[in-house]
A and B are shown apart, each in its own frame.
Chain A
Amino acid sequence: MGHYLLKRSLTLILVLLGVSLLVFGFVRLIPGDPAVVMLGERATPENIERIRAQLGLDKPVYEQYLIFISNALRGDLGTSVLRQEPVTREIIRRFPATIELAFGAMIIATLLGIPLGILSAVKRNSWFDASSMVVALTGVSMPVFWLGLMLIFLFAVTLRWLPSGARLDANTQFQPITNSVLLDSLLQGNPALFFQGVRHLILPALALGTIPMAIIARMTRSSMLEVLNQDYVRTARAKGLHERGVILRHALRNALLPVITVVGLQVGILLSGAILTETVFSWPGIGRWLVDAIYARDYPIVQGVTLTIAIIFVVINLFVDVLYTLVDPRVRLD
Chain B
Amino acid sequence: MQSHRIKSVLALAVLAAVMLIVVACGTPAAQPPVVQTVVVEKVQTSAPVIQTTVVEKVQTSAPVVQTVVVQATAVPAKAPEAFVFGAQGEPVCLDPAVITDGISGRVINQIYEGLVKFDKDTTNPVPSLAKSWTTSDDGKEWTFKLQEGVKFHDGTDFNADAVVKNFDYWANTKNSVHAKQLAAGQVFEYYEAQFGGFDENGVIQKVEAVDPTTVKFTLKEPQGPFLNNLAMFVFVFASPTALDKYGTETCKNPVGTGPYKFVEWKPNEQVVLDAFADYWDKANAPKMKRVIIRNIPNNSARLLALAAGEIHALEGMEPRDVAAIKDDPRFKLLLRPTNTTGYLAFNYNVKEFNDPKVRQAFAQAINKQAIVDALYGGTGLVAKEFQPPSLWGYNPNVEDWKYDPEAAKKLLAEAGFANGLSEVTFDGKKVPLEFWYMPVSRPYYPNPKDIATAMAADLAKAGINVSLQTVDWATYLDRRSKGELPLYMLGWTGDNGDPDNFVCYFFCLGTGDKPLSREGFANDKEVSDILKKAATTIDKAERTKLYQQAEQLIHDKVLRVFVANNQPPLALLANVEGYIPNPTGTEYFNLVEVKPAQ
Contacts and interface: CB of A to CB of B under 8 A. Distances in A.
B17 A165 contact: no
B511 interface: no
Interface stretch (A129-137, A225-233, A239-247, A275-283): A275-283
Interface centre among A32, A40, A159, A163 (most CB of B within 10 A): A32
B310 interface: yes
B82 interface: yes
B43 A171 contact: yes
Given A166-B269, A327-B6, A173 B304 contact: no
Contacts of A36: 474, 477-478, 481
A37 interface: yes
Contact of B267 (A31, A44, A93): A93
Interface stretch (B179-187, B220-228, B380-388): B179-187
Per DSSP, chain B at the interface is mixed
Contacts of A81: 185
A60 interface: no
B79 interface: no
Contact of B305 (A148, A162, A165): A165
Chain B's interface size range is 35 or more
A269 B268 CA distance: 23
Interface stretch (B21-29, B141-149, B280-288, B553-561): B21-29
A170 B310 contact: yes
Contacts of B5: 326-327
Interface string B17-56: 1001001101101001001111100011100000000010
Contacts of B58: 188-190
B269 A167 contact: yes
B37 A284 contact: no
B306 to A, nearest CB: 9
A190 B16 contact: no
B35 A196 contact: yes
A292 B88 CA distance: 12
A5 B339 CA distance: 63
B359 to A, nearest CB: 23
Given A172-B38, A192-B37, A161 B27 contact: yes
Given A161-B29, A165-B305, A171-B292, A280 B298 contact: yes
Contacts of B17: 111
A58 interface: no
Contacts of A54: 185
Interface in A7-53: 30-33, 36-44, 47, 50-51
B20 A107 contact: yes
A36 to B, nearest CB: 5
Contacts of B24: 202
B307 A32 contact: no
A253 interface: yes
Contacts of A39: 187, 189
A53 to B, nearest CB: 10
Contacts of B61: 175, 177, 188
Interface in B63-79: 65, 67, 69
A319 interface: no
A174 interface: yes
Contacts of B477: 36-37, 40-41
A99 interface: no
B509 to A, nearest CB: 16
A44 B100 CA distance: 14
Nearest to A160: B308
A198 interface: yes
Interface string A59-100: 000000000000000000001011110000010011000000
A110 interface: yes
A239 B60 CA distance: 59
Contacts of B474: 31-33, 36-37, 295, 297
Contacts of A37: 473-474, 477
Interface string A272-311: 0000000111101000110010010100000000000000
Contacts of A267: none
B304 A152 contact: yes
A193 interface: yes
B23 A198 contact: yes
B374 interface: no
B35 A174 contact: no
Given A171-B292, A297-B474, A199 B270 contact: no
B529 interface: no
A202 B23 CA distance: 10
A149 B301 contact: yes
Nearest to A294: B472
B294 interface: yes
Nearest to B62: A175
B264 interface: yes
Contacts of A50: 182, 187
B419 interface: no
Contacts of B84: 170
B106 to A, nearest CB: 16
B347 to A, nearest CB: 17
B37 A47 contact: no
A55 interface: yes
A192 B185 contact: no
B475 interface: yes
A153 interface: yes
A173 B185 contact: no
B16 A40 contact: no
B6 A253 contact: yes
A149 B272 CA distance: 26
Interface string B317-344: 0000000000000000000000000000
Contacts of B92: 82-83
9 shortest interchain CB distances as A-B pairs: A32-B474, A175-B62, A284-B268, A31-B475, A192-B35, A37-B474, A54-B185, A32-B475, A156-B308
13 contacts: A32-B472, A41-B477, A50-B182, A50-B187, A55-B185, A83-B251, A84-B248, A161-B29, A170-B292, A188-B65, A190-B58, A192-B36, A282-B269
Interface of A: 30-33, 36-44, 47, 50-51, 54-55, 79, 81-84, 90, 93-94, 107-108, 110-111, 148-149, 152-153, 156-157, 159-175, 177, 188-190, 192-193, 195-196, 198-199, 202, 253, 279-282, 284, 288-289, 292, 295, 297, 326-327, 329
Given A160-B308, A284-B266, A284-B269, 9 more contacts: A36-B478, A111-B16, A163-B308, A166-B269, A173-B263, A190-B58, A282-B269, A295-B474, A326-B2
